[in-house]
Amino acid sequence: MHNNTVHKPVLFGEVIKYLDPQPGENFIDCTFGGGGHSKEILERIREQGKLLGIDANPEVEKIVCQINEQTNNDKRNKESGGELIFVNDNFRNIKKIYEQFFPYPVNGILCDLGLSSFELEKEDRGFSFLRDAPLDMRFDFKANELTAKEILNKFSIDKLISVFRNFGEIPYPLAAKVSERIVQQRKKKQFATTFDLVDVILNGCSIARSKGGRMRRIHPATLFFQALRIEVNRELDALIEFLPDAIEILKPKGRLAIISFHSLEDRIVKHYFREISKGDDATAKLLTKKPIMADVDEVRDNPRARSAKMRVIEKK
Ligand SMILES: C[S@@+](CC[C@H](N)C(=O)[O-])C[C@H]1O[C@@H](n2cnc3c(N)ncnc32)[C@H](O)[C@@H]1O
């Protein structure tokens, strides 16, 4: 799974600062990925602490095995970290997973949304428009049946337009133009790989995204790929279902940190956090009035961090 790819955890120092793991505490990492954040949490909670790692991607289990092996080696050297329990599932099921596998009070929960560099680079997943691969885009390729290929070959033109508008925030004229081309194209030849889609999109369109008041040019396929990925994995629904359950699971003073990578996710988190932290009956306290973002050094070192925004809340 790794190839030579390295996944650099984003906002690493800020995550550790806000979650502040202490010896004997228990945490849940809902998006385990390469375990970048988790490894540090495990070290800090020491032998008595427990960490529940969750990831929808079944291949993450291999990474967990490597980390566990390392921890066992450390144990022999009497320098053990906390115990790691891994569950391959969608974090939308956090309550069920918690009740079944983690009988401990929870001091902190982390959700680092989106996809890892391993997934982006993986030859057979089709997440990247820069390499030709089957149009799949599922995180959980064992349990989830809907693929990007099926959407492109089967969805009606209206459904395609609404996926691109709702999940890519693509202006109507462009969403409609590309959707029409998709429907024309699939009559001649069904969509099979990412480059089939890139060809259709590239036919003379360009998209700019507003960034701090200035428009930044992005690859035209970026937002179409984002939209398809969100639809395939029902990413926004998962986040909406997850939020109240995560708060419920936390012990008082427990913290929930969420890192998002686009405005659709960030908006959901921002509104929910605002809602539960306002008024006399607030159930939580907002720790980040403004989202935490990567500084220039981190962005230079890890371009993926450019659009990361972290918001943190503490249960009352
Ligand atoms: C950005 S990566 C996390 C990287 C990790 N924090 C690290 O530093 O190594 C996001 C991970 O979350 C997983 N993921 C995305 N949506 C998910 C969901 N709804 N439920 C569970 N896992 C999910 C992806 O498979 C991916 O491995």
Residue 33 lies in a domain: yes
**Atom 4 (ligand 1): residue with closest C-alpha?**
33
Q: Output the six-digit token pair for 147.
A: 């693929």
CB atoms within 10 A of CB 262: 20
| Number of domains making up the chain | 2
Cβ of 174 less than 6 Å from ligand 1: no
Tell me what pLDDT residue 202 has. 87
**Atom 20 (ligand 1): residue with closest C-alpha?**
90
Rounded CA-CA distance 194/126 in Å is: 6
User: Is there a single domain that holds both residue 114 and residue 132?
Assistant: no
**Structural domain range at position 242:** 12-118+236-315
Closest CA to 275 of 240, 238, 235: 240
Of 191, 214, 234, which residue sits at a domain end? 234
Of 177, 203, 234, which residue sits at a domain end? 234
- Is the CB of residue 218 less than 8 Å from the CB of residue 208? yes
How large is the average pLDDT for residues 259-284? 97
Give, as one character, the DSSP assignment of residue 3. T
The answer to the question of whether 118 is labelled as a binding residue is no
User: Is there a single domain that holds both residue 34 and residue 86?
Assistant: yes
- Is the CB of residue 312 less than 8 Å from the CB of residue 255? yes
**What are the pLDDT digits (tens) for 84-125?**
999 999 999 999 999 999 999 999 999 999 999 999 988 889
What single string gives the DSSP state of each residue in 36-89? HHHHHHHHHHTTT-EEEEEES-TTHHHHHHHHHHHHHHHHHTT----EEEEEES
Q: Output the six-digit token pair for 272.
A: 């929910």
Closest CA to 11 of 262, 263, 260: 260
Rounded CA-CA distance 235/253 in Å is: 28
Rounded CA-CA distance 275/142 in Å is: 36
Mean pLDDT, the chain, integer: 92
Closest CA to 29 of 135, 139, 113: 113
* CATH number for position 104: 3.40.50.150
Residue 6 lies in a domain: no
User: Is there a single domain that holds both residue 136 and residue 100?
Assistant: no
Cβ of 53 less than 6 Å from ligand 1: no
User: Is there a single domain that holds both residue 230 and residue 242?
Assistant: no
Residue 223 lies in a domain: yes
Residue 2 lies in a domain: no
Question: How much distance in Å is there from the Cα of 37 to the middle of ligand 1?
Answer: 11
The HSE-up count of residue 60 (CA atoms within 13 Å, CB side) is 30
User: Is there a single domain that holds both residue 102 and residue 135?
Assistant: no
How large is the average pLDDT for residues 170-180? 94
User: Is there a single domain that holds both residue 110 and residue 178?
Assistant: no
Of 234, 250, 265, which residue sits at a domain end? 234
- Strands 207-211 and 214-218, sheet pairing: antiparallel
Residue 1 lies in a domain: no
Rounded CA-CA distance 255/109 in Å is: 6
Type of residue found at 192: A
The answer to the question of whether 140 is labelled as a binding residue is no
Helix (H/G/I), strand (E/B), else coil: 105: coil
The answer to the question of whether 112 is labelled as a binding residue is yes
**Atom 3 (ligand 1): residue with closest C-alpha?**
33
* CATH number for position 192: 1.10.150.170
Q: Output the six-digit token pair for 234.
A: 């029902």
Confidence of residue 272 (pLDDT cuts 50, 70, 90): very high
Residue 5 lies in a domain: no
Cβ of 111 less than 6 Å from ligand 1: no
Residue 183 lies in a domain: yes
User: Is there a single domain that holds both residue 193 and residue 278?
Assistant: no
User: Is there a single domain that holds both residue 70 and residue 204?
Assistant: no
Cβ of 71 less than 6 Å from ligand 1: no
Rounded CA-CA distance 137/233 in Å is: 8
User: Is there a single domain that holds both residue 101 and residue 250?
Assistant: yes
User: Is there a single domain that holds both residue 27 and residue 113?
Assistant: yes
User: Is there a single domain that holds both residue 276 and residue 147?
Assistant: no
Q: Is 120 exposed, middle or buried (0-12, 13-18, 19+ CB in 10 A)?
A: middle
Question: How much distance in Å is there from the Cα of 125 to the middle of ligand 1?
Answer: 15
Residue 3 lies in a domain: no
User: Is there a single domain that holds both residue 45 and residue 173?
Assistant: no
**What are the pLDDT digits (tens) for 138-165?**
999 888 999 999 999 999 999 999 999 9
Which helix (H) or strand (E) covers residue 130, if one does?
none
Question: How much distance in Å is there from the Cα of 33 to the middle of ligand 1?
Answer: 5
Confidence of residue 37 (pLDDT cuts 50, 70, 90): very high
- Is the CB of residue 189 less than 8 Å from the CB of residue 175? no
**Atom 25 (ligand 1): residue with closest C-alpha?**
57
Question: How much distance in Å is there from the Cα of 111 to the middle of ligand 1?
Answer: 8
